[in-house]
A and B are shown apart, each in its own frame.
Chain A
Amino acid sequence: MKRLRLAAVLFLVLISGLAFSANFVAPASYARQFRDIPDAPASRQHPLGTDDLGRDRFSRVLYGTRISLLLAPAAALLSTILAALVGGIAGLAGGWIGTAVMSATDLFLSLPWLFLLLTVRAFLPLNTSPLLSVAITFALLGCLGWAGAARIVCADARTLCDSEFILSARASGSHGVHLLRRHILPNLSPILFAQFWISIPVFILAEANLAILGLGVAEPLPSWGNLIRELEGYTVTSAPPWLFVPLILLILTVSCFQLALRKDELWT
């Protein structure tokens, strides 16, 4: 198991390194259209062939990986911060405040987030740059994805408040910010980290879902979602193998995010 974790971490490091060095590794710009060779098979110049518009698929995979690996953690961080705030307030305050906050969280959980996301997206200004639009999309994902984690944080915060060492700290005069900083936050951090970590693949998949609906990252920016869209018209047996690269990367990355977490962290 340890070896598997190590392999998963190594894979994530490797793919992140490759994605962040896309400027040096990619043979062409992700947007450049080689219109004389659309749908070209894999070759030395284009290791994964070209897409429908003649854009180098390898470059697009690299830049798409960068977008997914940069923005999904950012969205996960945003949702974890929101979860920590909401869940923390509910757990630490307790009483009617806790009940009210958790009721609001339950209500939020019941919202069909995909439709909510589509609605919010439809109201966005049209004339935003592709990069800004993708940042907004992931920010929206982050803002809508905190509720599940908030419940877990709340439950953990409640347990902490009732624990003997907190009672003891209180008895010895520790209150407010000091108690929060010295005793509560350090004890909540493993669960916050686990929530952050397991949210990353969720947001990667959410973006892919949006892209498959044609509502993901705007042209000409690539993402794993819109790269996978190329597979829509193919059956498993008829698609050229290089078309599966983004899909394989997505599956491997999502799996590695799960494997990289220790089992005890995963179940917290």
Chain B
Amino acid sequence: MDLRRYRFYFVFLLFLATLVCRPLHGQTQLRFCIGAQPKTFDPLLVADEPSEAVRYLTGGVLIRLDRSSQKLVPELAVSWTINRAGNAITFALRENVRFSDGTPFDARDVAYTVGRLMDPKLHSPTGDAFRSSEAAVATKIIGKYRITIAFPAPVVGLDRRFDQVAILSAQSSHKEMAVLGPYYMAENKAGTYVLLKRNPNYWKHDAAGRQLPYIDSIRLDIQQNRDIELLRLVRGDIDFINSLTGDQFDKLKSIAPQMAFDAGVSLDSELMWFNQVPSAPLPDFKKAWFASTRFRRAISSAIHRDDIVRVVFHGHAQPAVSMISPANKFWFNSNLQPHTYDAKAALDWLMQDGFRLDNGVLRDSGGNKVEFSLITNSGNKERELMAAMIQQDLSAIGIRLSVVTLDFPSLIERITRSFDYEACLLGFVNDELDPNAQLTVWLSSADNHQWNPNQKSPATAWEAEIDRLMRSQASTLDIQKRKQAVDRVQQIVWEQEPFIYLVNKHAMSAVSPNLHNVHPAVLRPQVYWNVDELSLSSQVAKDRQ
């Protein structure tokens, strides 16, 4: 049998096999964990950390804040100018860019995104940061790749805010699933993982002309348990942990010091607050306690923050002062000091409000025992430990605290919809140095004004003052005036304690030595801020096939 006549077919088959197998060989997959199922994949509705991770990895933005240099860099906008009044910005857009589904990108997409972002019916938390006045925002398309966005009043740090705005396609039938970022969402297995794949139309190239990103796919495993997450990193199942606890950092440092990074005090804080929503299903006497400044000050004074830093965070944190972390050197009000532990002062505050200590049990003027519950999310060991410490601290002044851990969706349901809770312990994740980004928290009308959200008019005089100060700092470009206003807000928050700030954590992360081009930063996302430039060693790619 003469096999030579089949040689051509053999070579052709080999060629076909090579083509088919090519996507499999050399495929690299980055893996890391997120704490919960993302609540939304609509980039304009992002309010939680897992959704933010997906937005960062998939969303294309006009301007990006470089997390390392903390400077703005052009992305989909090649240049931009802000007018003198500070209320309009003109973008010159990058040409020949396509969305992940192949739809072309132009000024109409920016106009569509801004229109949707500022639609009051959408209640976009990202949009709230641009809202310095109630009037509408105007967009003017000057050319295919040029657009002006005009706001009714000056918006402070206008260009910086576009770092959070992922551009949507006006024409694509895939709506928000068509993206301009380095990855697109390929699969979502609810409660298990989210799989992102490399955007074939991503516009960025490296110096050698190779299209970015280097890594083919990213798998975000949903893993609530932080200890298991660390074990998985050590075993090589995942490639990094964006944020480590003090305990985990020490543990990792002892077994794999080359993986542990401490970038110092971060912008994030841990805090607790009392439910002050008037319609909350709580007894009136408890509503009265929680609305009392003296009561909140007393609770704050009874909490031993130094112990929390030492015991829970192993020294990798510092007692928090107010709404701005000391890491934010310009905006932090350095005249303020953390509330120190003083059980006697706490009792004095309470006595002034008519409370009395009766055989070691604190009672209010109506004879009701002072007891309340503190909810926090299950699986977060630091918060569970903090809650147990607060429980013991409060028992010293006769208060019985019940600590209740809830799964995250149940907790969010209680603090945002049913308001069926008394006190809550959570963290405040802050990405932005400019306090203007906290408008969504401090305006009494905001969704994230957690102790009493969506107020039609401010419930208290001090909330009205915060509203006024935050709006005024948001509408002036004079940096000194802004600083004065923000200092005063910090002072009010320090005095009134609607949020009882506990600690500011250090920014600690863990990175596998197999992941290259990593430069951990203080700002989120600490490890993968330059995701399109990250690469994995070839051995990892091979092992994961």
Chain A positions within 8 Å of B, measured between CB atoms, are 31, 33, 35, 38, 52-54, 118, 122, 126-130, 133, 213-215, 218-220, 232-233, 235, 238
Contacts and interface: CB of A to CB of B under 8 A. Distances in A.
A216 to B, nearest CB: 9
B379 A53 contact: no
Interface string B476-497: 0000000000000000000000
A38 B388 CA distance: 13
Contact of B402 (A33, A38, A128, A213): A128
A53 B385 contact: yes
A215 B311 contact: no
B228 interface: yes
A127 B422 contact: yes
7 contacts: A35-B304, A126-B373, A128-B402, A130-B402, A133-B402, A215-B378, A233-B251
A218 B225 contact: no
B375 A126 contact: yes
Contact of A53 (B227, B373, B389, B406): B389
B204 to A, nearest CB: 38
B215 interface: no
B33 to A, nearest CB: 14
A166 B107 CA distance: 89
A233 B230 contact: yes
A53 B388 contact: yes
A122 B407 contact: yes
Interface in B392-417: 392, 400, 402-407, 410
Query: Which applies to chain A's interface (DSSP): helix, strand, loop or mixed?
Result: loop
Contacts of B378: 213-215
Interface string B215-255: 00000000011011011001000000000000110010001
A215 B371 contact: no
Contact of B387 (A31, A128, A219, A238): A219
Contact of B392 (A33, A130, A233): A33
A238 B422 CA distance: 40
Nearest to B377: A214
B276 to A, nearest CB: 17
Contact of A127 (B251, B310, B373, B406): B373
A186 B421 CA distance: 50
Contact of B372 (A54, A122, A127, A218): A127
A215 B407 CA distance: 8
Contact of A220 (B247, B311, B375, B388): B388
A233 B402 contact: no
A38 B311 contact: yes
Given A214-B384, A233-B251, A235-B234, 18 more contacts: A33-B389, A35-B304, A35-B310, A38-B311, A52-B247, A118-B407, A122-B407, A126-B404, A126-B420, A213-B378, A215-B405, A218-B402, A219-B388, A219-B391, A220-B391, A220-B403, A232-B228, A233-B231
B447 to A, nearest CB: 23
Interface centre among A133, A215, A233 (most CB of B within 10 A): A233
A30 to B, nearest CB: 12
Contacts of A118: 407
Contact of B227 (A33, A133, A220, A232): A232
Most interface-central of A31, A35, A130, A133 (chain B CB within 10 A): A35
A94 B444 CA distance: 66
Contact of A122 (B311, B392, B406): B406
B402 A126 contact: yes
B101 interface: no
B247 A35 contact: no
B75 interface: no
A127 B402 contact: yes
A71 B131 CA distance: 56
Contacts of A235: 231, 234
A140 B541 CA distance: 47
B307 interface: yes
Contacts of A213: 378-379
Contacts of B225: 232
A243 to B, nearest CB: 13
Contact of B311 (A31, A54, A126): A54
Contacts of B247: 52, 233
A133 B304 CA distance: 27
A35 B311 contact: yes
Contacts of B227: 232-233
A50 to B, nearest CB: 11
B307 A214 contact: no
Contacts of A35: 304, 307, 310-311, 389
Given A122-B406, A122-B410, A127 B371 contact: yes
Nearest to B224: A214
Nearest to B308: A35
A126 B371 CA distance: 11
A133 B406 CA distance: 13
Contact of B255 (A33, A133, A219, A238): A238
Contacts of B311: 33, 35, 38, 52-54
A31 B384 contact: no
Find the residue from A122, A128, A238 having the highest chain B CB count within 10 A: A122
Contacts of A133: 402
Nearest to B387: A219
Q: Which of B228, B375, B385, B404 has the most CB of A within 10 A?
A: B404
Contacts of B372: 127
A122 B340 CA distance: 35
B262 to A, nearest CB: 18
A219 B400 CA distance: 12
Closest 3 CB pairs of A and B: A214-B378, A233-B227, A126-B373
B392 A31 contact: yes
Contacts of A31: 392
Contacts of B373: 126-127
Contacts of A214: 224, 378-379, 384, 405
